[in-house]
Chain A
Amino acid sequence: MTKTTIPVEEFAYPGSTGCPGCGANLVMRYMLKALGERTIVTIPACCWAVMPGYWPSNCLKVPLLYCAFEATGAAISGLRAALDVKGVEDVTVVGFAGDGGTVDIGLQALSGAAERRTDAIYVMYDNEAYMNTGIQRSGSTPWGAWTTTTPVGTSHGFKHESKKDIMAIMQAHKIPYAATVSPAFPEDFVKKIEKAKRTKGFKFIHALSPCPPGWKTNPSLSVEIARLAVDARVFPLYEIDEGKVHITRKGKGLPIVDYLKVQGRFQHLTEPEISSMQKIVDDNWIMLLLKESSGT
């Protein structure tokens, strides 16, 4: 038997209709490896609503409930309530939504489920725009990115608003566990999901999900870009365990330009613009270190 660093068993079939090099496929695959068979997943409108394929095709080896775009938080609450009333206790309920479905249209239901301490895991796979509808900006699109609704070359240019800090929003809900995960670090990913599974109450996972068509990248680089995001500290890997911040991977501290230059969506940025992005990343990193050292 070959020794692997993450669980061998697959809970996702091949044949998903995700794009070649899709990060969201890896996010689902790792998540289910960590959770196993006794899991129910609910998915709102997002790339993953179509990735299982046209009826009667299904990628997942666990039950799957499709729900309305803004309804993930409510759907996991309903599933959990039904399981509770039927006396089913050992099932993990998962809401699996994109960034738009989480930080924008789904924020209200997410907040409600978190406030109610619904015993479930909410996973946001973050491809940083509305990718299923064809690359429109979301509240999770980073400053500086091109999207079809933040076109470059017009008076306004690229996206001039910063990415919503969903982890801080979730931390403010005083949930027992929140973590960021990256498909480039599957061992860390699986460990955090396992921890979320063990923790009672509402858990939030923020997964970076590289998107070759939306980020205008070579599909073969999806894992590498996810790695660069961590190493350039654009997407630090950390967890908030009972309110305490713990950075799980410091990264190499590469300049942000290393992360930006491989992505078509950032090609228009000038040197001063890249410098200002670097400053935001540096400031955020210092804030995160402070949070970790101060135990908040």
Chain B
Amino acid sequence: MTKSHEEITLTPISDTPSTMNITGLWRVVKPVVDKEKCKKCTICWKFCPDAAITLVDGEPIVDLRYCKGCGICAFECPSKCIIMVKEGEQ
């Protein structure tokens, strides 16, 4: 939505968190975490390029609004508890 010249700063100054970009829409495959197998090693969190994984008591929660489905988490997981599944499939 174009803002009026009166509503904007003199030069573009970005002050809105990039969480405004729902990059999860790019995704064709998504990570699914098997909580039974998860050893809470935090490696998936560490290697997520998009900071889309948060840790809750050591367990990874993938924010699917931002996960682009790169699959690094699944590849790096030492206990192989993350699998990538096609969007729309279970």
Contacts and interface: CB of A to CB of B under 8 A. Distances in A.
Interface residues of B, number: 38
Interface residues of A, number: 39
A6 B63 CA distance: 20
Interface string B21-43: 11100110000000000001010
Given A53-B18, A55-B14, A57-B20, A14 B70 contact: no
Interface stretch (A22-30, A81-89, A196-204, A278-286): A22-30
B51 to A, nearest CB: 5
Q: A interface, by DSSP: helix, strand, loop or mixed?
A: loop
Contacts of A221: 75
A9 to B, nearest CB: 11
A10 interface: yes
Given A21-B71, A52-B14, A56-B12, A14 B19 contact: yes
A219 B74 CA distance: 11
Given A13-B17, A14-B63, A4 B70 contact: no
B8 to A, nearest CB: 9
B21 A56 contact: no
Interface of B: 12-23, 26-27, 40, 42, 45-47, 49-52, 55, 57-58, 63, 65-66, 68-72, 74-76, 84
Interface of A: 2, 4-6, 8, 10, 12-23, 25-26, 29, 52-53, 55-59, 64, 183, 186, 212, 218-224
22 contacts: A2-B40, A2-B55, A4-B55, A5-B46, A8-B55, A16-B21, A16-B50, A17-B18, A25-B49, A52-B14, A52-B18, A53-B18, A53-B20, A57-B21, A58-B17, A58-B18, A59-B18, A183-B47, A186-B46, A220-B75, A220-B84, A223-B76
